[in-house]
Structure 1
Amino acid sequence: MFNQLTTFGRSATQLVFGSITLAAVTLTSLYIHSPFAATAFAYLVVIMLFSLMGSFIASSVLSIVSIAASVYLFTPSTFGLRIGDPEDLLVVVAFLTASIVGTQLIGKVRQEREAAREVAAKLRHSAADLHDREKRWRAIFEHNPVMYFMVDEAGTVLNVNTFGATQLGYAPAELVGLSVLKVFLEEDREAVRKCIEACLTNIGQSHTWDIQKVRQDGSVLWVRENAKAMLWADDKPIVLIACEDITERKRTEFALQRSEAHLAQAQELSHTGSFGWNTATGEVFWSKENFRIFEYDPETKPTPQHVLDRTHPEDKASVQAILDRASQGQDFEHEYRLLMPDGSVKHIRAAAWATRTATGDIEFVGAATDITAAKQTEQQLRRSEAYLADAQQLSRMGTWAWDCHRRCFAYRSAEVSRLFGLDPDELVSLETIRSRIHPDDLALQQEVQRRAIEQKAGNFEYDFRIRLPDGTIRHIHSVAHAVLGRDGTTVELVGTHMDVTEQHVARERLENTLAALRESEQRFRDYAETASDWLWETGPDHLVTHLSEHASAVGILASGLIGLPRWEIACDVEEEPEKWRRHRAMLDAHLPFRDLIYRAVSKTGSAFYVRTSGKPFFDLGGNFLGYRGVSTDITARIRADQAEQELRKAQADLAHVTRVTTLGELTASIAHEVNQPLAAIISNADACLGWMGRETPDLPAARRSVDWIIEDAIRASEVVRRVRALAKKGEIEMVPLDINEVVKEAITLVTRELVNQQVTLRTEFAPTLPTVLGDRVQLQQVIINLVMNGIEAMQAIDDRKRELTIQSSRDDKGRVQLSVTDCGAGIADEDIDRLLDPFFTTKSSGLGMGLSICRSIVQAHGGRLSIVRKQEPGATFQFVLPVVS
């Protein structure tokens, strides 16, 4: 409609303006008296010009109007429409033809020009649209979150989108022109090459694969590639590859696989297999570990009957009853035994709960655990408890637990009952216990118990006496600690009672011996201070020719010795013939001699010891005249040496008693150290039987288990050896030792005590320390004593971490140094100088001999034990030992 109105408007305009123009031409021609032909030509020009406006109808009307006006006005029959002159008719016909044909031609030309203009406009619009589409698709290609690669048949990258290049750490220009294999792992490049070849072989067919790509920084990502080959404009094939980043998906898959593997390993390590059972369909699922436990081929399709077939005959009825109740939807948990084809027996604990499937079926999900090792360990534990009871009886140490609310024993070992003279099966009242405690010690014992209940932390040691009905007195050393309930109050006291009667008697004997020793030392010291040396002289025949007057002062009858040789004066010639043979040989050779010691008899008939030295003398001619020398009465020193040997023997006896006492205190640690390898032996033996019991015995695995059994047996034997060495009473054996190894062996015996007292042990061993010469057992006794003292010093500490440090090093003189440091309350300044003295102690129940014995042992090894003064809390004891040169 709009086009029709536009055409009509154009035609009307053409007609109006054309008519006006023709009127103007007509008037002009009339005015100038233009001939008919000229006027017709002028009309034709006007019509041609206005025909350019495009309306053929308007041009035709103008042509008719022009012919009518020209005939009417300019032909000889003026003002008439008749044409009389043939030439005028010809002009009219020619005018009409020219106007119509010209108008038609001009209209067609104009239409073709407008059509060409429209075509050009459409082409321009199509080009712009194509450019816009190209920009949109280029933007989609560049920024699509999928990597796009375009490669040729040789694998060269023709194009890559920005996202794809950025994902790999490149700019697009850096990848174009390179081989696409550059972004793949070396081991995957051959597979990529084959995939591209497969795409080129099947033009237009899609191919998909998962593979890893390498970023520029060397990191790797997983992608899923979808590739298709197509023919390019020049019929050359190219391959379009779209890559989807599936790294997170792969990580999830790998994590799931690891999780499944870890679950399988966890089941294998815990000997627990999982199972599922649909009671309606009878379908059963077993994990791999379940097949191993029941020793069925994993290819077997399991059923409940397979469980019954392996069940021990004595347990089949109970297992069948469990299965029957389970079919009714009841959860179950029970233990039973399996009788394996090789005759071995396994203990199984099975538990399962019922669920409902989507179809309403009852389905059980559960687990079966091989508890054979636990059962064997339980039996072993019972044996260990029996061994512990024997150990308590041998060490005369009993364990107990006191119920603070009921005020009676919650537990007492048989040894505690023996110490109190009670029947182990008898119910004992508080009055009965108090009646057995010595009246003088009852108040102290009650006070210690009250303090332990109130303080709630740390160990409490005290000594008391038991008076049995027959009047026998036993000395008891007790160690206890509090056990707290949920409300923070003390509910129990747990501790040990050790019979130290023999140690008490030994201590009294030792005190008497030391008192006698002091008196003897003082007597011999007085003798040494009042004694003096005397001079002597012998002739060429070695007979005494002269004695100084001091000889009589020491009880020697001088006149009675003149004319006698020395070997007739001495009374030990027959006892030590080799000594006198060497001495007479030196005299015959006229050689000087020093410090000959022999025994003689004084004028009162008592034996005394003489140390003598002599030098030959000659006349001017060199003739031998005899010997001159000096003698000293060393009886006091000899007696002192003998007394010192007795003292050392007494100290050794006391050290042995101390070691035995320490072993009693460390019974729990020793039992723990022995039980560990015993448990490992049982476990490895069970594993060995498992390897041997297979259809095809796994001999290498069984051999490894036997090797481990041997190693654990050696380890247990080594613990026993060390305990026996500490308990053994023998001579000192000085051998080269590595002090670090000595410390490590000693630590194993106090490890349990460290754990019980919540003490953290830190060791700082200097590497490549030189060896020392010493007795392993005595040095271990020193280390254990220092460690136990450190543990006791930290019992009351609750405001900081309890830490004990053992450090080995070399001092500034090159000696080996070992220090033991605690973080306890420390040592008072006034006590430091006396702490190493015998019978001095800061403990309420201590003997005061532990550190004194340690100092004696260290000094016997040529070393020195000392206390290091420091500012911070705690104390440090250290000793140094000379190294082996």
Structure 2
Amino acid sequence: MNADRLARLRYLVMLWISGCIALGAVTWACFALRCGMATTSFIYLMVIVLLSFLDSFVSSTVFSIFCAGCLNYFFTAPLFSFRVAHTQDFLALATFLITSHAITALVRHTRRLGEAQREQARLLDLTHDTILVTDMTRVISYWNRGAEELYGWKREEAIGKVAHQLLQTIFPVALDDINEQLSRTGRWEGELVHTKRDGSKVVVASRWSLQRSESGRPLATLVTNNDISERRRAEDELRRSQAEYLAEAQRLSLTGSFGWRVSNGELFWSDQSFRIFGYDPEITPSREMVLQRTHPDDVARVKQLFEQAATTGRDFDFQHRLLSPDGSIKHLHVVAHAVIDEQGSHKFVGAIQDITAATLADEQLREAQTELARMSRVMALGELSASIAHEVNQPLAAIVTSGAACLRWLGHATPQPDEVRACVQNMMANGKRAGEIVRRIRTLTKRDTPQKMRLGLNEVVTEVASLVQHQVLTHRVKLRVKLACGLPRLAADRIELQQVILNLVINGIQAIDETDDGLRELLIETRQDEDGWVVVAVQDSGPGIKAENVNHLFDPFFTTKSDGMGMGLSICRSIIEAHGGRVWASSHAARGAVFQCSLPALGESDLTEPARCR
């Protein structure tokens, strides 16, 4: 038997002995005073009730049986006997036992309820939350220790006061609306502002629960408040910091944000958006203000995008220009995402970025690339100077020969006008031929923007082949040209396409010069692949491409030549990709390297193909 059980047993023994002594004293007094059974029973009940507060049901039963025995022995005929002579006495004794058990049971229940309430009150006082109970008129009936610590009023000072008057509550909505929701759902949650005893303000997260009777009648409201003042100040500070950082980030990135509610046309701009459009932040933005700043050439397109977005409710992404009052032009990139708000209305949330600097940089980059391409062509023509001189000298020599023949025919005793006419026609044809050669060279060296036109690939290859004839002869290279019949036409810039093929041919000739054996061949071939694209391939018999260089051949400034700049192949790739095509290189199975370019076709056959197609 452990110590607790032993102590409990000792307590019960002492309680029963003390109770029986007390009840014995009551019995002696009542018997001495000749009290009746009813009086004695009433006095017994009072003593039993008092004793029941000290222990449980077992003790109450023991005392009830002891008192019933005393009543039977001392106050029921025959006296000093446990025999019951009359039926009514037996009923009286039974009634006493039942009554004593019932009363003591009620006492124990009441005691347990009181203990539970005291325990609950103690627990509520232990919590740091503010807990109060109000009746249906909002009068405070309970005020825990947390409420005392938060608001400053003691329990006795707060109980009996109207809660929202004592605390000077600031409600987020009307109090009638809160009461209506509380009555309808039995709950309400929200943030309230209270005034403490010292006059300072506190923000609390408040939760109200309606307590009802078993019949459903509202009885009271349990209110639990949590102090969120510090959290609210921290959140406000965080929002201010985020707003400052966002504003600074938008300013640095030249990006503004906006919102557009489609139903009423309202626009919301960030400070950076006002700066981009050049308006005062104090005014209310509108679509008219946007159109007023839009470049006249873009107004119709911007209007159409506004109407399309409002009708379809889809995301949009577009670029347009602004014309400022000072005449400067800005380039904007506008992107927006469509969302649906709580009311089911469509609105757009988006960003406006000033891309003027990037656009100007792109234009300068394109100009630089164009100039670099032109310089590459000039360098290539420098490589072909001997070929060019040879090509020009041929028609000039023919003109001189035809002129001398004219003089001979005119010096005869009988002039021959038909022969003279034939010589003059030959001179004119060779003059045109020389002019065409000069035109091609001037076009290749001319700085101009690309002009795409319909042309045949075979025609471009033939023109390049004629330019490199003397070059291949000088380097003892055998040039073969294989042109496919019926190739579809391309939409391309003739000069840029000539530059690409010319660069590949010169690279092939230089690669062949690196070999010492007798096989010196260069093949230019055109074909159409299985996807319908037109392909030109330049194959040389040089040393081929090292495996580690394959992926870097078209990188800017990468070269395997001691005197190379590393820009020729990079320019070729830029030109082909600008035409929507692809360029690649590989080592040939037999020997040498193959450079290939594929370009999308227009689908219409080239009717000007030369006769030497395969």
- Given the two structures, how large is their TM-score scaled by the length of structure 1? 0.35
Q: Which has the higher contact order (CA 8 A, sep 6+)?
A: 2
Larger Rg: 1
Q: TM-score, normalised by structure 2?
A: 0.50
